[in-house]
Amino acid sequence: MAKILIIDDDETIHLIGRAYLGKAGYEVQTAFDGPEGLEKAAAFNPDLVLLDINMPKMSGFDVAKKLRENAGTKHIPIFIMTSLKQDSNIQRGYGLGIDDYITKPTNMAHLKLKIDKFLEKHKRP
Amino acid sequence: MLEFLTQSPHFYDYVTLGVLFLGVFNVGEILFLLYNKAKVERSELKRGNLKRLAATALITATDPAELLPPPVAEDEFAAYSEAIASVLDSFEGEVAVKAAKLLTDLGIDGHYRRLARHRTWYKRGNAIDILSSFRLRANREFFLAVFRSEPSTDVKYRILYGLSRLTRDHAEIRELAELLSTLPYLTAKYTEDIFFNIISALKANGREEEFGLFLKEALDDKKVLNLVKRDCLTACHAASCEKGRSVLKKYYEAHEEEPEIQIAAVRALAKMGDFVLIPPALRHADWRVRLTALKYADLCCTDLLPEIRCLLRDNSYHVRLAAAMTMARAGGAARAALTEEAASQDKFAAAAAAYALTQGAA
């Protein structure tokens, strides 16, 4: 069972993410902010991180940077999921080595398909 | 009075009474604060539970309104509206449709519409903000009606913000721009946000070209303030509105006396990969326009090198430095020229070139 970590300060995203992705057969864990997300990423070793940008304590960009700097988490694919649509943010995200930049509002059915395809292509050995 | 107290045989009784009174007052104050803290915590917990309940009902139930207790108190309305606004902001598709339906089924939309007519201005403003977050197209006419009767300018700004998220075509943009012109100019950020929302709403509905039409109409419209035109172009840049591309050059040409509009036009076009305005902007009389052009000059073409090199001797320190940085970024022949300039007799040009070369190396 593939594992997904959702890092977002909005509990509604956690609930909806858990329900949809859980029903699709993924094991989902959630974190409310950057430090908690980094801790969980190291312990849970997810196959994919869904990451928000605007969060308390640490921005999503900083979380992505830290994930990439840490030897134990640098291999984890990151999808940024945010309502920030400006090109500068998209460029900054890809500059940090994220794998996809998804803007809200997101269609959960489409997101699930995207995750399915991505994880199928990047299956861990 | 002080003399009377100090000479009184009951002086120490008065002091004791005073101290006792202060002690009782402090204890009362602490109890009051603790009671309020517990009240806020209870309310937060209740709101959290209701938000969770609403989100769960939206995912699990076909008709979530059947599962949820109808809101009665203000914090219940707030909890539901927060959960629903968050869903509408983050998701589209089935769950968003159910969330929007829940607003009418539970009477949340109606509740905030009533509050939008409240006698206290900040309650009206808050209700408008919440209604805006729902982005219900059905609220457009309501917003327009409230705008006409609203006495507070603060609330009017919020109504326009709400309207900007519901825009569908250029006639509606025009209407909004006219309403905006009835209010005093607030800030560049506010106006830019309004137009950014408009572009985002149009993009979401696949009607981005409507903004291009509006830009064309606004070009010669004297009723639209130049400041508003500038913010409009800045929003175009921020929201990457490709459909306004053809008219941006016309804005540059038509506003020779408005460098800020020209800067916005140069930036917006350059962001779309169109560098047609860079050569004239490098020769512009206003140093801010020259500076903006230099930021993109290394991306456009190599035959601009002589002009950029001349700007190493510009009157403005910022332009000289930007010219040197542009040459350093461009690399190749430009960098070689920069190395020559570092040994130039012109101290200003040499200093800028040397700085850019060290920055490049770093």
Residues of A in contact with B271 (CB under 8 A): 87
- Residue in chain B closest to A102 (alpha carbons) equals B90
Tell me if B92 and A105 make a contact (CB, 8 A cut-off): yes
Domains of chain A, by residue range, sit at: 3-118
Distance from CA of A83 to the nearest CA of B (A): 7
Name the residue of chain B whose CA is nearest to A12's CA.
B55
- Judge: B59–A12 Cβ closer than 8 Å, yes or no: no
pLDDT per residue rounded down to tens, chain B (362 residues): 778 778 888 888 888 999 999 999 999 999 999 999 999 999 889 888 888 888 888 888 888 888 899 999 998 999 899 989 989 988 888 888 999 999 999 999 999 999 999 999 999 999 999 999 998 888 999 999 999 999 999 999 999 999 999 999 889 999 999 899 899 999 999 999 999 999 989 988 889 889 989 989 888 888 888 889 999 998 988 888 877 788 888 999 988 888 999 999 998 888 888 888 898 999 999 999 999 999 888 777 667 888 888 899 999 999 999 999 999 888 788 888 888 888 888 888 888 889 988 885 44
β-strand pairing of A48-51 with A106-107: unpaired
CA B209 to chain centre: 22
Question: Residue A115: which pLDDT band, with cuts at 50, 70 and 90?
Answer: very high
Q: Which residues contact B214 (CB under 8 A, 6 or more apart)?
A: B170, B173, B174, B177
* B309 φ/ψ angles, rounded to the nearest 5 degrees: -60, -40
Q: Under an 8 A CB cutoff, do A16 and B59 touch?
A: yes
List residues in chain A touching B: CB distance below 8 A. Answer: 10-13, 15-16, 19-20, 83, 85-87, 104-110
Domain residues for B328?
A: 278-362
Question: From the CA of A78, how many Å to the nearest CA of chain B?
Answer: 18
Q: Which of B59, B60, B269 to mutate to test the interface with A (most CBs of A within 10 A)?
A: B59
Q: How far is B55 from chain A (nearest CA, A)?
A: 6
Asked if residue B130 is part of any domain, the answer here is no
pLDDT of residue B52: 87
∠B193-B199-B201 over CA atoms, to 5°? 100
* Residue pLDDT, tens place only, A52-110: 999 998 999 999 999 999 998 999 999 999 988 877 889 899 999 999 999 888 888 89
**Is the model's pLDDT at A125 over the cut of 70?**
no
Q: Cβ contact (<8 Å) for A86 and B238?
A: yes
Among A13, A86, A109, select the one facing B90 at the smallest CB separation. A13
Shortest CA distance from A84: residue in chain B: B239
Residues B199 and A45: their CA atoms lie apart, in Å, by 40
Q: What is the pLDDT of residue A123?
A: 75
- How many H-runs (helices) and E-runs (strands) does chain A carry? 5, 6
- Give A125→chain B minimum CA distance, Å: 33
Chain A hits for B55, Cβ within 8 Å: 11-12, 15-16
Give the per-residue pLDDT at B143: 95
Per the domain annotation, does B317 fall within a domain? yes
* Residue B271: per-residue pLDDT: 82
Amino acid letter, B273 = G
Amino acid at B296: Y
> What class has domain A3-118?
alpha beta
User: Which residues of A are less than 8 Å from B60 in CB distance?
Assistant: 19
